[in-house]
Amino acid sequence: MGPADSVSLIREAIRKAPAVLDSLVRYEFLKQRTGYLRADVQHCQAERLSLTLSMIKLRTERDSLKQVIIHRDPLRPRLQRARLENWGWRGLATLGIYLQLRSWIR
């Protein structure tokens, strides 16, 4: 390797120095930014876990309240009787139609 080769290497290194400096600055910035982003991710994961636990708790409370409402509903027995009465009338109507059709066929 002669003196001309070393001079050309030095010139090339000097020519590329701004790009190398820019890359190093970007690297340091991204390294710092990555730390902030990791902290944000951890915060979001903790918040998500907290919200998931809250959601489970609220669903449990909702289900227990539904059970209380179903068992304490004052209209529930009346509704059940009304449904049973409707089915009774439907059965009688069906029987009446059957007997009427049977009398016509004879």
SS percent in the chain: helix, strand, coil, step 5:
95, 0, 5
The Cα-based distances of 105 to 38, 72, 91, 94, 95 in angstroms read 85, 52, 21, 16, 15
Greater confidence, 30 or 44? 44
8 A C-beta contact, residue 86 and residue 79: no
8 A C-beta contact, residue 70 and residue 76: yes
Tens digits of residue pLDDT in 35-76: 888 999 999 999 999 999 999 999 999 998 888 777 777 777
| Confidence band of 86 (pLDDT split at 50, 70, 90) | very high
pLDDT at residue 1 is higher than 60: no
